[in-house]
Structure 1
């Protein structure tokens, strides 16, 4: 078995999370500037055994696509051309940012630390991955 890499795509920053090789535990990996995302993923896939990539699917409350889906679709085309051998799944990511912020509060992070948007993105990616693992 290989790792599953999760992506919480953003136009400025993108949060990443990954499973262990047994696909049991979802852990935050890092946050990357979005313009560096494809080179980062390509390098990561060369050094780690990645079996699948999971990308957040942002939806509105009425189940319609979020405005950011346009940017994600463009990224997915580039990702498919860069790493055609790795399948990509999508996971509903509604409320992950709010849940990530609440997780930061619950874990006792100070107010200054909770303002770290990169950390919110990384936790959001972890929540997306955990949701994917739970649905399997």
Structure 2
């Protein structure tokens, strides 16, 4: 079974998470600079099958798009153009960064590790992917 890949998009870093082949476990894969993401994905897709991309959709508390939504839309368009055979699903990403920070703290990571924004982005992508898998299980 192909994997599912999730992205926590940011203008400085993109957190990337992926499922195992059975789509039961979400794991942080890496944090990639936006300028390198397409090359990273092309290389990854040479050895792994991915059936769906899940992209975090930034929203405000009133459910309207946040200021960063325009950047995410550009990223989604780039994914669609480059990997037209892989469907893309958007998923509300509100609170994923706060949840990631809390998970890192609960995991006993020292202060220097908690301040590592790349780690927060990767864990945010994992949380996003786990949320997607939970929603899929209840469909």
Query: Which category of TM-score, normalised to the shorter sequence, fits these structures?
Result: over 0.9
Kindly indicate whether residue 18 of structure 2 is the aligned counterpart of residue 18 of structure 1.
yes
Counterparts of 1:96 and 1:107, CA distance in 2: 16
How far apart are the structure 2 equivalents of 1:42 and 1:8?
18
In the TM superposition, what are the counterparts of 1:1-136 in structure 2 within 5 Å?
1-136=1-136
User: Is the Cα–Cα contact under 8 Å of residues 42 and 82 in structure 1 kept in the other structure?
Assistant: no
Distance in 1 separating the partners of 2:46 and 2:92: 28
State how far apart, in whole Å, the 1-side matches of 2:81 and 2:116 are. Answer: 32
Runs of 4 or more above 3 Å deviation: none
Quote the Cα distance in structure 1 between the aligned partners of 2:87 and 2:62: 28
Give CA-to-partner distance per residue, 1:57-81, whole Å, 9 cap, x none: 1100000001111011111111111
Separation of aligned partners in 2, 1:87 and 1:102: 31
Unaligned 5+ runs, structure 2 = none
Note the aligned Cα RMSD (angstroms).
0.7
> What runs of 5+ residues in structure 1 fail to find an aligned partner?
none
Indicate the larger mover: 43-52 or 14-23. Answer: 43-52
CA distance in 1, matches of 2:113, 2:42: 30
- How many residues in Structure 1 have an aligned counterpart in Structure 2? 136
